[in-house]
Amino acid sequence: MAKQAVGMIETKGLITLLEACDAALKSADVTMSGWDKIGSGIVTAFFVGDVAAVKAAVDAGAEAAAQVGDVLGVQVIPRPHDDLAKLGNWMG
């Protein structure tokens, strides 16, 4: 497995998510592997990298997004199982 962690930020509104992604990508050495539109204005971004970097990026992104709009959820999964990638192409 090339990546050690996957992080997610879920927000209400695309502008809020863009703010979160900008802050997350600037704060740590992570890669944004994709985003998904859930529905009713809810959107989620996915980040991969080492555990500490993903945690720092997700925290920074959520803090920045909270100043613009609503952050609905934040999650970091360290050492995700390889089969988790089968759920979508967002794990890189």
- Looking at residue 1, its pLDDT comes to 42
What pLDDT is stored for residue 83 in this prediction?
Answer: 82
Domain ranges, ordered by start, for the chain: 8-83
Q: Which helix or strand (DSSP H or E) is residue 61 part of? A: helix 51-66
pLDDT of residue 90: 63
CB 91, CB 80: distance < 8 Å: yes
> Which of the four CATH numbers 3.40.50.920, 3.30.70.100, 3.30.70.1710, 3.40.50.880 does domain 8-83 have?
3.30.70.1710
pLDDT digits 0-9 by tens, 29-40: 999 999 999 999
**Interval 41-83: pLDDT, tens:** 999 999 999 999 999 999 999 999 999 999 999 999 999 888 8
Per the prediction, the chain carries an average pLDDT of 91
